[in-house]
Amino acid sequence: MKSITMQFNKEKAINAILLIAYKLTRKDFHKIFKILYFADREHFVNYGRTITGDKYFAMNDGPVPSNIYDIFKSIRGDGYFKDDGYFSKYFAVSEWDILVPLMQPDLDCLSKSDKTFLEKCIELYGDMTWDAIKEKSHDYAWHSTTPNRQIRFEDIILEAGGDEEYIAYLAEQSILSNLTANGI
């Protein structure tokens, strides 16, 4: 079976992060990553796509969105890619891992379902302690992945209650989407 792929959506990711950051009391990378993971996971199983399109890696403290983490590190100044001012107009980083939002989110960039799942996950997980949200994120998908490797979208779907038939359908849609994107 062909695996499911997603296209990272920078604009949606930025605005999802801003929405989360403005609603959280503790705005550290870890908390933001976990809220995004839960929102992407639940949106994926309900609508066949994630909100951000980001890939998650099974890091020691739970799933980490790869592109978003690269953005945060570039703003912080220690990323492989240096921020050319594009991302630093949206966020700043203080105390190594605290995100400081510099703009209000553009909610028009997010669909109604995107906002619903983000708000739901902020409400469910926003007040959890660091250890509690870490433990919650150590789910089937995380446990099924070799440490420091990408978590398969198929495992994320299974964790969220999807089945093999739904996974096969999404894999087929992923192939079709990639063919269309490549002009085939």
Where is 165: in which H helix or E strand?
helix 164-181
For residues 142-154, give the mean pLDDT: 97
**Distance in angstroms (rounded) separating the CA atoms of residues 125 and 15:** 19
What confidence tens digit (pLDDT) does each residue in 153-172 have? 999 999 999 999 999 999 88
What confidence tens digit (pLDDT) does each residue in 69-126 have? 999 999 999 988 888 889 999 999 999 999 999 999 999 999 999 999 999 999 999 9
DSSP 36: H
**Distance in angstroms (rounded) separating the CA atoms of residues 73 and 79:** 5
Instruction: Count CB atoms within 10 A of the CB of residue 29.
Output: 20
pTM attached to this predicted model: 0.93
pLDDT given at position 184: 47
Q: What angle do CA 96, 98, 103 make, to 5 degrees?
A: 125
